Structure 1
Amino acid sequence: MPNPFNQQVIEEFRANHGRVGGYFEGARLLLLTTTGARTGTPHTTPVGYYPDGGEQVLVIASAGGAPQHPDWFRNLVANPRATVEDGLFTYEAEAVVLERAERDRVFARAVEADPGWAEYQAKTDRVIPVVALRQVPQDGPPSMNAGSIAEHLQVAHDAFRRELALIREEFRKTGASLGAQLRVNCLTLCQGLHNHHTGEGLGLFPFLADRHPELAPALDRLGKEHERIAELLEQLRGVIADGQPEPGRVLSQVEHLTAELEAHLTYEEEQLIPLLTAVGTPE
């Protein structure tokens, strides 16, 4: 059984699609369910994470600098298969403990983003492990943490809003510098938005166009907005790819993307969510 603090976070996380308050407010958080090394029973733990692009996220087994590894890490060593809930999807992941050279590189990236990790390492003699959680491919559609397409769309939009807010806050905390982890965060966001809009263009929009011909003008506008956002994402990638980009340029690009994306998301919600609520889930 989770301790009372963890249980409260777990319940709030699941009730609010990844949004929590209190100690974890404003943090990137996931729920990690591991198999007990001794008991064989499932254990769910809220864990902070870092994006790492593609189908992988990183978690750090700091235990606040305690002398022993956290239980969830020992469980993953015994059984590397785990379940991850990110607020939008639930998926199976394979845990890979990073080897020392890669661990050191990634841990330095994390310290650059948050010096607290170095403080935890200084408190303990153990080398704090870094674990990559790699999504296991599955057949069929992903498991959505939503009861309908309408709810899923809203939750996805809110997740992008939160991530953009986090990135802007990270710029503010670092004096608008572009550290290695902040680069990864921006590029992961770019890929996520690209995937989301590609999925809408191939699936959701044709589904609605077939059932609601009157929606053609709105869908046409949304398609054009997708193209515009794709241009902004490519510009952001280009600025980040510069060897030593002027940080203000990157932040300006993020702010521009945020403004246009927010307008797009709001319009899409106004036009599509009422219809999606009415039609439910397509067969």
Structure 2
Amino acid sequence: MIIPAVIKDEDFIAQVQQYENDKKYFHLWWLGQSGYLLLWQGKRILIDPYLSDSLTQKYAGTNRPHTRMSERVVNPDLLKNISIVSSSHNHTDHLDGETLIPVIKNNPGITFIIPEANSNFVANRVQIPEAFPAGLNEGKHITVDGFTFHGIAAAHNTVDRNEKGACLYMGYIIQFGNYTIYHSGDTLWYAGLEKILSPFEINLALLPINGNDPARGVAGNLNVQEAAGLAKTAGIQHVIPCHYDMFTFNTANPADFAAEAEAVQQAYTILPLGGHWSSEVL
């Protein structure tokens, strides 16, 4: 049985529009896997959106079927007035041409933030000039439309770099107004990550919980215990877990994360597919 979205397509867009004029709080919607739509003071940001069936189609009939568990939240053709879209790395559930091509086409002036090491690959997949995306590396930042993105190295499964030392896998610290968000991308808890994150005084972290099982044949992530522990150790105020309930072979139970977070007294929210969250709870 496919997990339904609590809201989708035109109704989803209408709900986002309801909060366009909120000048006090920011708003977030989970798009599935590690994808989010962030709204702050009328500005819309897309983070790692995967809004197609491209992986299910690609791996159909193979020994690694990507059987989808959840329905699509929103047709990417409906996503308008987007200021920034980001991709944390080149895996299709974080860099999906079928999602990104219409988003970029329908949003003139959009900024596309990626790891700078991946610019050639991204240009080919998304059918854009290589100079179009804004490339980041760890320790670098870029400010666009009131949002500052800081590059954070990610270990998927290791902190891999190109010949120039630029990271292939990244997370982003996103600062705007008085708020700071951490979207880790796909990562393990590598040595010193908590020390990199702590000085940012992060209000909200978006962390994967699907774990690292070599039998799956894909790179791994934080598991439920590690995600809760990293957040607590880094002094993160609130966590929303992600990277589950998309594909049957690579998922986790968010109730297990909830139990781990409660055990270490880490504040969290489990969002349903398409679910809305507001910084009013902070």
* TM-score normalised by structure 1 residue count: 0.30
* Structure with greater strand share of residues: 2
Q: Give 1 or 2 for the bigger CA radius of gyration.
A: 1
* Structure with greater helix share of residues: 1
* TM-score normalised by structure 2 residue count: 0.30
